[in-house]
Structure 1
Amino acid sequence: MVAQIKNLINSVKDYIANTDKLLWLLTLSATVYSFILIYSLQRATDSNYLQSQIIAVGIGILGAIIFSVIDYINLLKYWYIWAIVGILLAVSVFLFGITVTGTDDTAWIRLPGGMTFQPSELMKICFIITFSKHLAYTVENGLIKNIKGVLLLFIHAMIPIVIIHFQGDDGSALIFLMMFAIMAFTAGVQLRYFAIALGAVIICIPFIWRFVMNDEHRNRILALFDLDGNALTDYGWQQYQGKVSIASGGIFGSGIGKGTRVQNNIVPEQQNDFIFTVAGEELGFVGCIVLILILILLMVKIIVIAIKSKDIAGRCICYGLFGMLTTQTIINLGMVLGFLPVVGITLPFFSQGGTSAMSMFFGVGLVQSVYLHNKMEIDDKLSGKYKLLLKNEFFD
């Protein structure tokens, strides 16, 4: 028994020594920051948001550790299992999906105990794995500059995008689209294909506006340009109140637990998409800068791991999480500050939402797997060279 405990302790020490500690530190820093914000804002409601968030983060950390110790090559080897899981997650919404308060789409499933679960968040992890495998195959077989190869990549990406669109969750569909674009670009898909796609989108804007978007979508966009202020009482109300809350915080904010606007729950969904307004009011400009800086450092760290990856598959996994983290951050802050329409995108690691938190941690686990197993391979090679050097020194 004692020997088993010692082995476990040694395994934990080895894990901590070999994983990217800065990536863990930044991830956990964002999480603790979010706990502080959620603890403060939940005084405005009867819900215990912090408790459910802690449980979700606990599951996310456990999943991240499991993902990180499994060689990502083995994860990609069984890509078809992840594809099946992604399809099952997508189909489950059409069978059991519900619409939760504050949303207009059927993208959630109610779990026992009253908790809800958003399958599209975990579909992002499945997509990162399957699309990384597809990109690696395309590059390794010299098809990345072939129009047929690029078209197959596009079809792969459109499967989850179309499914999620029909669920009514166009915000998540947009994230998948941006993840596809970033992963494909960094894998070597030529710019001309992106130019063609962009041209096609521009040409189709009138069709999209008329037949794809509903009145809700159009009004949210028009609210950004409503100079008369009529939208402030309707589709622009949430953004207007959010900006007032951020401005009211000044340089250092009113202090955690002291924001009157947070207390009165003036900004709708301040625990989810608009949690940045809580940081703005109670921690001020300094708190907002710290929040943004943590996210930027996370993005940079992921890029560094991607650059150092020994193969295209590892780089694709890293850029998949980078795309997920970056686009969600930009879109969330853009809509909170009134530069982009409200599309229901959470702020990574900060917004209250169990499925979102878990998926981000699972993504970090994938990146840690790339870092850990690349490092182990390099260490093995160095160890081999050292042993060869000793052999030459003493026996030659």
Structure 2
Amino acid sequence: MENRFLKGLWGYLKRADIILWMLLAAISVYSLLLLRSVDTATGTSYFRTQLMATAIGLAGAVVVSMMDYAEIANYWVLISGACIILMIYTALFGDQVLGSGGVDARAWIRIAGRTFQTSELVKIAFMVTFAKHLDILKKQGRLEEPIQVILLACHAFIAVGLCMFQGDTGAGVVFFFMFLSMSLGAGVQLRYFAILFVLILIAFPILWEYVMPEYQKSRFTAVFNLEDPTVQMEGGYQQYQGRISIGSGKLRGQGLFQGTRVASNAVTFQQSDYIFSVAGEELGFIGCSLILLLLFLLMVKVLHVASMARDDLGRFMCFGFFGIIALQSVVNIGMCLALLPVMGVTLPFFSAGGSSAACLYLGFGLVQSVHMRRKESGGLRLRQKQPLRFVGKAKGKSKRLS
């Protein structure tokens, strides 16, 4: 039994992308160290929750990687339907979060006494369903037809619209960027993106005037007025405090578990949206640079897996995962540095949040599945060509054709 397990493990490791696994392991350990520091300073339990989510996520990643991603994608219609029902259920019956300035979101449901953000799971499902949609059009040679591009946009904007229905603007932005990265990777013509960009420019003033609530407007304006004492105490409070924490660490930081501002909880939501400020204060510029390097290497490796994929379907899935990591990294770090408005987007794999972490590991499992099947064709492993044989009628002996 033990030998069989060891052989299975060795066989898995030979097929898996070990460098990708090592990067994920380094990111996971780094995240747990930062959250352990927050727990030690504030008496919370984010570390334990993250550790449990990481263990579940890693197990899920291994299971998903052992499955053929193409077989999973065959159920894309069923997956899409289930996701729509889940998102609508969450918007109607999920836990409501109310905040100042008109914040009103229902993006979480309760499972076994714990909250779960359904959009995190739907992001991974979108990797599958949208990749399958693109793959079908690519095979049919219809990816350049205007009506098909419009249908692709409708596919994506269903997800974006459901996030807005929940009051979760940050998740909607992530879905939109996934749509862009996967569509660009699939070869959708640039003219369609130019048209989309023009439409956004036209719609933005209307949205600002008649649709966007006051708290979202204040987040945009705070970026440009962060030196105003009034803004520092209101709409720009988080960003102002986060920037101070990052700057206080200087080159090497105050030391892990030694952050005075971490202990005083000066930055609200430092365990999730502002985990980057914890790294900045306690580990300084070096610690922040390490986060950037690890995430950059992860994204580069994902694109490398995409380039080696056996088919377009696997390639598109990798582009989707890349879109999640790239957008969330840029937006989260940008808002921590007060370069972008606050959007409630977490730093992938680093921020506390069991549902976010566990679901990202599932996306990672899909990328590993693509890598492990890069030498297969049509779901079957390529084999060496065997010599042909025929049976001679006269003597009944087989002869080999070279």
TM above 0.5, yes or no, is yes
* Number of the residue aligned with 1:204: 203
Question: Contact 2:119–2:171 at 8 Å: present in 1 too?
Answer: yes
Query: Structure 2 CA distance, aligned partners of 1:270 and 1:207?
Result: 34
Deviations for 1:257-288, whole angstroms, at most 9, x for unmatched residues? 10100011100000000000000000010011
Distance 1:106 1:64 in 2: 28
Q: Residues 281-360 of structure 1 correspond to what in structure 2 (within 5 A)?
A: 281-360=281-360
User: Quick one: which amino acid aligns to residue 203 of structure 2?
Assistant: C
Report the residue type matching 1:17 in the other structure: K
| 1:120-162 C-alpha deviation (Å, 9 max, x unpaired) | 0000011110000000001111111110110110010011110
CA distance in 1 between counterparts of 2:322 and 2:338 reads: 24
Residue 329 and residue 309 in structure 1: after superposition, are their counterparts in 2 closer, same or farther (change >3 A)?
same
**3-state DSSP class of the match of 1:213?**
coil
SS of the residue 2:109 aligns to: strand
Matching residue of 2:258: 258
Aligned counterpart, 1:7: 4
| Equivalence map 1:51-66=2 (5 Å) | 51-66=48-63
The residue number in structure 2 matching 1:173 is 172
1:230-269 pair list within 5 angstroms = 230-269=230-269
Over 3 Å counting, the alpha-carbon distance change for 1:5 and 1:254 in structure 2 is same
Indicate the residue corresponding to 1:374 in structure 2: 374
Which stretch of structure 1 is more off in the superposition, 166-175 or 100-109? Answer: 100-109
**Deviation at residue 249 of structure 1 after TM alignment:** 0.4
Q: Whole-Å Cα distance in 2 between the matches of residues 109 and 278 of structure 1?
A: 28
- Alpha-carbon deviations, 1:155-200, whole Å to 9, x = none? 1001111011011101100000000011001101100000000001
TM-score, length-scaled by structure 1:
0.94
Is residue 149 from structure 1 mapped to residue 137 from structure 2 by the alignment? no
More off after superposition, 103-112 vs 209-218: 103-112
Residue of structure 2 equivalent to 1:19: 16
For residue 101 of structure 1, report the CA deviation from its aligned partner: 7.9
Shift of the alpha carbon at 1:395? 7.2
1:49-128 matches, within 5 Å, as 49-100=46-97, 104-113=104-113, 115-128=114-127
Q: Residues 281-311 of structure 1: CA distance to partner in whole angstroms, max 9, x if unpaired? A: 0001001101110000000000001011121
Partner of 1:279: 279
Bigger Rg, which one: 2
Give the Cα separation in 2 of the matches to 1:163 and 1:240: 31
Q: Which residue of 2 aligns with 1:35?
A: 32
Secondary structure at the aligned position of 2:152 is classed as helix
TM-score (norm: length of structure 2): 0.92
Percent identical: 42
The count of corresponding residues between Structure 1 and Structure 2 is 389
Verify the 8 A CA contact 2:241 2:267 in the aligned structure 1.
yes
CA distance in 2, matches of 1:286, 1:225: 27
> CA 1:380/1:76 → structure 2, altered by over 3 Å: closer, same or farther?
closer
SS of residue in 2 equivalent to 1:99: strand
SS of 1:109's partner is strand
What is the root-mean-square deviation of aligned Cα atoms in Å?
Answer: 2.1
